[in-house]
Chain A
Amino acid sequence: MIKQFLNVFIRDWLLTIRNGLLWFVLIFLLLLIIMVRFVIPEQIELTEEQYITDLTEQKQFLGFMQQKGMSESEIIADEETLDEMMSKNKNAFGIVIRDRNERTEITIKSHGEIAERNINLIKASFNSMIRMMEGRTNYSLIKFRVLRENIPIIPLNKSFIPVFLIFEIIVLGFFFIAVQVFDEKMEGSVNTYRMSPSGTINYIMSKNLVFLILGIIYGLSFILLTIGSGINYLYLFILLILGLSFMTILGLAVAVFFKNLSEWFAMGMFVMIIVMLPTFSFMYPVFAPPYITYIPSYIMIFTAREIIFPSGNESMIHMNLLILFIETIIIYFIAHILVNKKIMKAG
Chain B
Amino acid sequence: MIKVENLFHDYEGKKHYAVNDVSFNIEKGEIFGFLGPNGAGKSTVQNIMTGILKKQQGKVLYNNKPIEKMGKSFNNRIGVSFEQPNIYLKLTGYENLKYFGGLFNVRTEDPMKLLEKVGLKDEANKRTANYSKGMKQRLGFIRSIMNNPEILFLDEPLAGLDPNTASGIKEIIKEMKKKGVTIFLTTHNMFVADELCDRVAFINEGKIITEDNPRNLKLKYGKQSVKIETGKGDDFKTEVLFLENEEDKEKFDRIMKEKHLQTIHSQEATLEQIFIKLTGRGLV
Contact = CB atoms under 8 A, between A and B. Distances in A.
Interface string A331-347: 00000000000000111
Contacts of B100: 192, 196
Interface string A173-207: 00000000001100111111111111100000000
A345 B67 CA distance: 13
Contact of B88 (A189, A197, A347): A189
Interface string B97-124: 0011011110000000000000000000
B80 interface: yes
B87 interface: yes
Interface residues of A, number: 29
A58 B72 CA distance: 83
A189 B84 CA distance: 9
B159 interface: no
A68 B102 CA distance: 74
Given A11-B88, A346-B53, A197 B75 contact: yes
Interface of B is mostly: loop
A24 B283 CA distance: 49
A197 B103 contact: yes
B103 A18 contact: no
A191 B86 contact: yes
A11 B72 contact: no
Interface in B71-91: 72-76, 78, 80, 82, 84-91
Given A346-B47, A347-B53, A197 B87 contact: no
B86 A11 contact: no
A339 to B, nearest CB: 13
A114 interface: no
Of the candidates B53, B84, B88, the one having the most CB atoms from chain A within 10 angstroms of its own CB is: B88
A188 B102 CA distance: 19
A197 B52 contact: no
A209 B278 CA distance: 56
Interface in A130-185: 183-184
A8 B98 CA distance: 11
Contacts of B75: 195-197
Interface in A271-289: none
A55 to B, nearest CB: 70
A345 B103 contact: no
A196 B104 contact: yes
A180 to B, nearest CB: 10
A10 B88 CA distance: 13
Contact of A7 (B84, B85, B86, B103): B103
A18 B130 CA distance: 14
Contacts of A14: 90-91, 95
Nearest to B104: A197
Given A4-B102, A7-B102, A188 B82 contact: yes
B50 A187 contact: no
Interface string B142-159: 010000000000000000
Given A191-B86, A195-B50, A347 B11 contact: yes
Interface in B42-77: 47, 50-54, 72-76
Contacts of B91: 11, 14-15
Given A6-B102, A197-B73, A18 B82 contact: no
Contact of A11 (B73, B76, B99, B104): B99
> What is the size category of the interface that chain B forms with chain A?
20 to 34
Contact of B90 (A6, A19, A192): A19
Contacts of A191: 52, 82, 84, 86
Contact of B52 (A10, A11, A187, A346): A346
Contacts of A7: 99, 102-103
A3 interface: yes
A184 B78 CA distance: 22
A8 B87 contact: no
A192 B105 CA distance: 16
B14 to A, nearest CB: 14
Interface in A38-62: none
Contacts of B90: 14-15, 18-19, 183
A8 B103 contact: yes
Contacts of A193: 103
Contacts of A345: 51-54
Given A8-B103, A15-B88, 12 more contacts: A4-B102, A7-B102, A14-B95, A15-B90, A183-B89, A191-B86, A192-B87, A194-B52, A196-B103, A198-B103, A345-B51, A345-B54
16 contacts: A4-B105, A7-B99, A10-B99, A11-B95, A15-B91, A183-B90, A187-B88, A187-B89, A188-B82, A188-B87, A191-B82, A192-B82, A193-B103, A197-B104, A197-B105, A346-B47
Interface of A: 3-4, 6-8, 10-11, 14-15, 18-19, 183-184, 187-199, 345-347
| Smallest CB-CB A-B distances: 8 pairs | A7-B102, A188-B86, A196-B103, A11-B99, A198-B103, A197-B75, A18-B90, A195-B80
